[in-house]
Amino acid sequence: MAQYTSASTALAVIRLRNPPVNALSLPVLQALEDGLKRADADPSVKAIMICGENGKFSAGADIQGFSLPKTRGISLGHFVSLIERCEKPVVAAIEGVALGGGLEVALGCHYRVAHVKARMGLPEVTIGLLPGGEGTQRLPRLIGVPAALDIITTGRHIPATEALKLGLVDEVVEENTIEAAIRLANKVIGQPLEPRRLSLRPVPKLPNMEAFLSEALVKLKKQARRYLAPELCFQAVRAATELPFADGVRKERELFNVLLTSGQAQALQYAFFAERAVQKWTTPHGSSWQNASPQPIHKAAVIGLGTMGRGIVTSLVKASIPVVALEQNLEYLNTGRKAVMLLLEREAMKMEQGAQTLDFHNPARLQFTVDFDALRDVDLVIEAVFENMPLKKEIFQKLSRICKPAAFLCTNTSALNIDEIASATSRPQQVVGTHFFSPAHIMRLLEIIYGHHTSPTAIATAVQLGKVLKKVGVVVGNCFGFAGNRMMFPYVEQAVFLLEEGSRPEAVDQVLEDFGFKIGPFRMSDLAGLDVAWRSRKGRGLAGDSVPPGTPARQRHGRRYSPLPDLLCENGRFGQKTGKGWYQYEKAGGRTAKPDPWLHNVLTQYRDTHHIKTRFIDQEEILERCLFSLINEGFDILAEGIASGPEHLDVIYIHGYGWPKHRGGPMFYASTVGLPRVLAKLQRYSEAHPDVPALRPSTFLKKLVAVGNPPLKEWMSYLSRPSNKL
Ligand code: 3HC
Ligand code: NAI
């Protein structure tokens, strides 16, 4: 709805009302139109102000509404034009957010006043769309093509101060925005409106417009990787530079409809709601976000300043949480300190107001130590030492003795059993997994793992910590590899099996990169370091001296196994760090991967030795075996109650594993492929490779197909009683 009131006899106020973010649903827009007509018809009204309820202007069109057929075909532009054509001055009072259609409504107004804390933007591109309320035509006319193109193609939110500099708003106020807008409205009564109607303005010229646009397009295409929206946003803005306003609007509508009906927009809108859904966590024991409260974290500690620890410290400092950073000895401490300081310097430079906002030179905010006694007063500890169970247990036992009883003890283990780690303490209810992703100060995913004894308060505190660190926290149960890595294992396994059977790293990577992954499995493995998984395999008795004599080279525990990655490690090929892995690099630490004839020869010899008949493997098989085995594991995870819904797995993959967001996540992708097809393909591959359990279709997947392939949001209702492995 939109509420019509008067601030004085001369000033009508139209307040957009649709909690929580005043999304522009059809009833809101119709009420806005009614308000405009009423103000127009009332001769005593001399000016109009549009604002939003509850300190928010509007977050734009109702995203839920895009999936409802009845709202299709209603153009927001119609309402924006109505505002602009109004014969009485219309002032937008922008508080909170004016995003997407919300900003387009403000662009239809003749004047804009914003609160200093307001944020504005056209984030449609992030949900697979373009601004479809004539924003692609008005914004370039107001602030010029370069700034408009940046805002529209990135979807970034801009603060009010920047909006003022760009000329997007006329005034920024620190106090009452509504009063400031009323003052401005009274001041402009009677002034000519023609120059304020953006549709009548020309797009400001650039001396080198064509060259600028060509360059921008090349850059966009490089980044977009089959993601349609940025390029169509670009085309709409280009139309503004080439066509009269009305024709530009027609072009915008045409492009908007292409995107609206694209699978990509549906996937991205699904991802938008999935990210919000996972915040409402539940466990099979009945604890949930509704019945658990987080404890405040005034001070934290991080143990181990290696690859992960240094990023975690950086994240905490950035969130203004005082940190104690602890290492095993002075040598490691100094190396860790230097690395943390370097990261913080870089982050400070990236931050808007510069280094002053990151108070990391103050020992009260960031303390480096080798003394566990320094952890006595912290509220939460994050352990990030080597992936080694005895070491982790030793540390947790020590923490349990030293830290205050209320302190939470978190582990950054990537796969180990949370319950076993917790068993070393006298407070297993305070132990929780906080699995960050590398680089920890950049990657947004935080997998939060509860063990058998973890209290709801500990889960809620970890979730709250994730929010404070600006991460996307996803709560999952405890099993080897948790949700993310457990699904990754079969994916990587298939990639290696494909090499055995005749493919090459570059061919497999290409297929998955074409699908939209930032890097394929072999480039990823070279980046992360092959030695990490090798150590883990040796620890689990799969590789090295602990393998019992007489074990067939390509079999472990009756299942197919590939010793190829072990072979590379035995040759000192750990990936980028050694300059050689699945690819060769210009030097140790180099980043440019080149196909390596050495590896191709080794593959040929390997196939000969093991009598594997080489065959040509097409792209479809590469894609399906890698992705469907990963998805298959996802169905098992759901059936076991490790994750409480497919959205959780999708959010994990989008934010932790570089899954292309415009494909919605692996489980969403499976729903678009169709579960019967996924099942049929898995059955076929499983028959061809009976010794590969990961290809054997999950019972839950089979059940969903048997009940008629229901939509993703109904999947969980087919699990009669979610069993929990705990
Ligand atoms: N439509 C429908 N629901 C919306 C919405 C929208 N545009 N924006 C937010 N919501 C819902 C969320 O789903 C959430 O619902 P829930 O409480 O049931 O989970 C609730 O509003 C609160 O949202 P957040 O949890 O995200 O709250 P925050 O305070 O963290 O963030 C926000 C607020 C910055 C406004 C953020 O919600 C956001 O970015 N919203 C989307 C903005 C956007 O993409 N707008 C463009 C829409 S498309 C458009 O306008 C097309 C036009 O050009 C034609
Ligand atoms: P790392 O080897 O880079 O760093 C580990 C650090 O712990 C070293 O600096 C070491 O000196 C320190 N350490 C060892 N024993 C210690 C002790 N007794 N007291 C204090 N410090 C001690 O390891 P990395 O990669 O940072 O991994 C840490 C943890 O994070 C592991 O559990 C790993 O599985 C997990 N993880 C790693 C990821 C990665 O990509 N590297 C991703 C996600 C989780």
The whole-number pLDDT of residue 354 equals 46
CA distance 349 to 359: 13
Please work out, in degrees rounded to the nearest 5, the angle formed at the alpha carbon of residue 639 by the alpha carbons of 636 and 645. Answer: 100
289-476 — its CATH code? 3.40.50.720
The CATH superfamily of 2-260 is 2-enoyl-CoA Hydratase; Chain A, domain 1 (3.90.226.10)
Pocket of ligand 2 contains residue 440 by CB under 6 Å: no
For residue 70, is pLDDT > 60? no
pLDDT of residue 726: 44
CA torsion, ordered 646, 651, 653, 659, to nearest 10 deg = 110
Residues 6+ apart with CB under 8 A from 550: none
The two structure tokens encoding residue 208: 């080198």
Q: Which residue's CA is the closest to the ligand 2 atom numbered 17?
A: 328
Of 104, 383, 447, 501, the active-site residue reads 104
At 8, give phi and psi (nearest 5°): -160, 180
Reduce the DSSP state of residue 104 to 3 states and report it: helix
Q: What does the pLDDT look like over 86-120, one tens digit per residue?
A: 999 999 999 999 999 999 999 999 999 999 999 99
Give the mutation target among 302, 305, 307 for probing the ligand 2 site: most ligand atoms within 8 A of CB: 307
Number of H helices, E strands in the chain: 27, 19
Measured distance CA(232)–CA(389) in Å, rounded: 51
Count Cβ neighbours within 10 Å for each residue of 333-370 and write b for 16 or more, e otherwise: beebbebbbebbeebbeeeeeeeeebebeeeebbbbee
Write down the pLDDT at residue 359: 79
User: How many whole angstroms separate alpha carbon 218 and alpha carbon 679?
Assistant: 40
Q: What distance in Å separates the CA atoms of residue 708 and residue 613, rounded to the nearest whole number?
A: 39
| Ligand 2 centroid, distance to 281 Cα (angstroms) | 28
Find the ligand nearest to 24 CA: 1
> In the beta sheet, which residues pair with residue 282?
288
CA gap 445, 19 in Å, rounded: 28
Record the pTM.
0.94
Q: What is the pLDDT of residues 354-388, one digit of tens each?
A: 445 777 888 889 999 999 999 999 999 999 999 99
Residue 1 has pLDDT above 90, yes or no: no
Residue 722: pLDDT above 60? no
Ligand nearest to the CA of 446: 2
Q: Which of 53, 84, 124, 647 is catalytic?
A: 124
Mean pLDDT for the chain? 95
| The pair of three-digit structure tokens given for residue 696, joined into one six-digit string | 């054997």
pLDDT 10s digits, 31-57: 999 999 999 999 999 999 999 999 999
- pLDDT band, very low/low/confident/very high, at 721 (cuts 50, 70, 90): low
Q: How far away, in angstroms, is 21 Cα from ligand 1 center?
A: 7
pLDDT tens-digit series, residues 235-262: 999 999 999 999 999 999 999 999 999 9
Ramachandran angles phi, psi of 559, nearest 5°: -115, 160
Reported as a single tens digit per residue, the pLDDT across 209-243 is 999 999 999 999 988 878 999 999 999 999 999 99
Residues of the chain with CATH 3.40.50.720: 289-476
CB neighbourhood size of 513 (10 A): 17
Query: Confidence class of residue 412 from pLDDT cuts 50, 70 and 90?
Result: very high
Cβ–ligand 2 distance for 385 under 6 Å, the answer yes
pLDDT tens-digit profile of 451-493? Answer: 999 999 999 999 999 999 999 999 999 999 999 999 999 999 9
Of 605, 632, 360, 352, nearest to 486 by C-alpha is 632
Every domain range in the chain assigned CATH 3.90.226.10: 2-260
Average pLDDT, stretch 533-542?
A: 90
Q: Is 194 noted as a catalytic residue in this protein?
A: no
Token reading at 528: 């992360």
CA separation for the pair 104, 79 (Å, rounded)? 10
Q: How confident is the model at residue 361, as a pLDDT?
A: 85
**How large is the angle between the packed helices 619-639 and 484-501, nearest 10 degrees?**
150
- For the CA of 415, the closest atom of ligand 2 is 34
Q: What is the pLDDT of residue 230?
A: 97
The architecture (CATH level 2) of 503-609 comes to Orthogonal Bundle (1.10)
| Distance between CA atoms of residues 690 and 683, nearest Å | 10
- Mean pLDDT score, 171-194: 96
The pLDDT tens digits for 497-529 are 999 999 999 999 999 999 999 999 999 999 989
Q: Could you tell me the two tokens for 294? A: 């987080």
Confidence of residue 68 (pLDDT cuts 50, 70, 90): low
Please report which ligand is nearest the Cα atom of 106: 1
Phi, psi torsion values for 325, nearest 5 degrees:
-110, 125
Rg from Cα positions in the chain: 28
pLDDT band at 343 (very low <50, low <70, confident <90, very high): very high
* Residue in 125, 122, 156, 117 with CA at minimum distance from that of residue 139: 122
pLDDT tens-digit map of 656-695: 999 999 999 999 999 999 999 999 999 999 999 999 999 9
Does the pLDDT of residue 9 top 90, yes or no? no
What separation in angstroms does the CA of 86 have from each of 45, 181, 423?
A: 12, 17, 70
- 155 φ, ψ to 5°? 75, 10
Please report the pLDDT score of residue 72 as a whole number.
Answer: 46
Give pLDDT, residue 184: 97
Question: Which DSSP category does 425 fall into?
Answer: S
- Alpha carbon 326 to its chain's center: 30
Q: Does domain 619-718 have CATH number 1.10.1040.10?
A: yes
**pLDDT level of residue 539 (50, 70, 90 thresholds):** confident
CA distances (Å), 363 to each of 9, 186, 399, 441, in order? Answer: 60, 53, 22, 20
Residue range(s) of every CATH 1.10.1040.10 domain in the chain? 503-609, 619-718
| Ligand 1 binding residues, C-beta < 6 A | 20-21, 23, 59-64, 76, 97, 99-101, 104, 123-124, 127, 129, 131-133, 273, 276
CB of residue 414 inside a 6 A radius of ligand 2: yes
Q: Among this protein's residues, is 420 annotated catalytic? A: no
Q: What angle do CA 261, 262, 266 make, to 5 degrees?
A: 90
Q: Whose CA is nearest to atom 10 of ligand 2?
A: 304
Two structure tokens written together for 628: 């469907």
pLDDT band at 720 (very low <50, low <70, confident <90, very high): confident
Ligand nearest to the Cα of 52, by number: 1
Q: Give kind and range of the element (H or E) at residue 393.
A: helix 389-402
Quick check: CB of 327 below 6 Å from ligand 2? yes
Distance from the alpha carbon of residue 383 to the mean position of ligand 2, in angstroms: 8
Q: Which atom of ligand 1 is nearest to the CA of 130?
A: 53
Tokens representing 546 are 């602990």
Does an H or E element contain 368, and which? strand 366-369
> Does the Cβ of 445 fall within 6 Å of ligand 2?
no
| Residue nearest ligand 2's atom 4 by CA | 306
479 touches ligand 2 (CB under 6 Å): no
